[in-house]
Structure formats: structure tokens, C-alpha cells
Structure 1
Amino acid sequence: MATTSSKTPPRKPAPVKKTPAKPAVQTAKPAKPVEVPVLRKKELIERVVVRSGVKKKDAKPAIEAMLAVLGEALAAGEDLNLQPLGKVMVKKTKELPNAKMMVCRIRQRNAEGDSKVVKVPT
């Protein structure tokens, strides 16, 4: 009996289907807090003294009185129109246990040479 060997060529492995790699889950990194410069009353008084040339002992009571008047006006809900600071409008107020929170909007005019006329097409 003659056996014929029927050798079959070795099978190639089936191609592996490559699925696109899933992007790694990125967790939201907390945003770095932006440091906003704060002008305190002491620095305000110093800047006013430098700009006006008035003695500090004369400027301090006037500046403190002005800040008190502005605070009272805002607390009463009044809008302020104080150029070149701008127009300060109280939009929302909320009474808190130990304070009053106000949301304000300030509108400043452009500096004198920076004013631009914008033409709107009609």
C-alpha cells in the first residue's frame, strides 16, 4: 500500500485586524489660577501722591473719604459716571450673611487718539 503523502503547505496565520488604538483618557487638569494684580488702598494713596505731588498726609484723608462715598453710592444701587474711570453700573446684588455682593459692569471710553469709528454695513 502506497500512501501518498499529501503535505499541505503550512497555513499562514490569519491577519490580525488592527483596531485603532483608543486615545488615552485625558483627565481635565485644573486650570492654573491667573494672578490678577490687586491695587490696595496703600498703593492707591502712594500712586496718587506721586501723580499729584500732594503730601501724603493731605491726600490720604481725601482718598479715604472718596472711597467711602463711592462705596455708599454703590451700596445704594447708584450707577457711577466718573470719567476717566468710566461708567460703573450695578447689575446684580446679593445679600450674604456678612457682606453684600454686587456684580458691576464698567464701561470705559477709548483713550483720546484710540477712538475708532466703525462703519456698519446697512
Structure 2
Amino acid sequence: MATTKKTPTQAKTLKVPETAPAMAPKGTAAGAEPEVVVTESPTIVGPELKKKELIDIIVARSGVKKRDVKPVVDAMLAVLGETISDGREMNLAPLGKLKITRMKKTTKAHIITTRLRRTDPQPTDAPDPLAQAAE
């Protein structure tokens, strides 16, 4: 019995179920490709913030000495890391509300996916709602 070998140029054809035209959205042809619409604009991500730079920024904003800021930042980061790894939600005022959406443990790492919701800052250049007293 002789067998024929398939050559790489022969492609398999898939049989499309007869229900495919019924599943097509209204107003489109059964064989038409769907159009993908992307409304989000790409965001440009800057360099990541390292702990050393974070400490320098806090020293500059607060006026506290670096030797006093470093243990506080280390303790704060440790507490935030433990809270996230426990799966707890956080609501920290200027940062926003952080919610854990997924947790996955791999052999080398613990992958935690989060969502951070921030409110839009209120404009500070608005005029004072109270009228000034007449002189």
C-alpha cells in the first residue's frame, strides 16, 4: 500500500460551521473581518522610582535629615509590602485606593496584580467662594 506524504505547501482547511452567519453582528457580512477600535492613547512611562530617589525626594520636601527619613521609609515600605502580600485592600489618602485583583505564586516569585484608583485633584486656582469684606 502506497502512502502519499503531505508537502509543507498543502494547508489544512477548516470547515466553518453553518451557524457562523447567524452569529455575525447586525449590519456586517458573514465573511467580513471585525474592526478593532482603540480609543486609549498610549502612555509614556518614565524611568522607575528607586528607593534611594524616593528618600531624596522626601528629604527635599520635608526638610528632615536623611538619616531620620531612611528608617521611616524602610518601615513604611515593609508594612505596605506585607499588607499587599496578605491580600488586603488599602485606602491611603493621596495615593488612592489599592485593590488586589489577582495573586499567583510561581517558583521564583509571588505575582500580585492590583488596581489603583485615584481621584482627580481639585483645582487650587479657583477663586475663594467667600466674598471679601468691603472696606
The two structures share one fold, judged by TM-score above 0.5: yes
Deviations 1:9-59 (A, max 9, x none): xxxxxxxxxxxxxxxxxxxxxxxxx65320000000000000000100000
| Mapped pair 1:83 → 2:93 | yes
* Consecutive aligned runs of 4 or more in structure 1 exceeding 6 Å deviation: none
Instruction: Please name the residue that 1:110 is paired with.
Output: 120
Tell me by how many angstroms 1:112 deviates.
1.6
Instruction: Please name the residue that 1:58 is paired with.
Output: 68
Instruction: Please name the residue that 2:29 is paired with.
Output: none
Tell me by how many angstroms 1:97 deviates.
0.9
Instruction: Please name the residue that 2:52 is paired with.
Output: 42
Distance across 2 between alignment mates of 1:58 and 1:41 = 15
Greater length-normalized contact order (CA 8 Å, ≥ 6 residues apart): 1
Tell me by how many angstroms 1:83 deviates.
1.2
The structure with more radius of gyration: 1
Q: Which runs of 5+ in 2 are unaligned?
A: 1-43, 125-135
Q: Which amino acid letter does the alignment assign opposite residue 111 of structure 1? A: P
Q: Which runs of 5+ in 1 are unaligned?
A: 1-33, 115-122
Give the superposed CA RMSD: 1.4
Instruction: Please name the residue that 2:82 is paired with.
Output: 72
Task: Tell me the TM-score normalised to structure 2 length.
Answer: 0.57
Distance across 2 between alignment mates of 1:112 and 1:60 = 31
Instruction: Please name the residue that 1:25 is paired with.
Output: none
% identity of equivalent residues: 44
Distance across 2 between alignment mates of 1:51 and 1:36 = 21
Give SS of 1:113's match: coil
Deviations 1:46-97 (A, max 9, x none): 0000000010000000000000000000000001101100001110010011
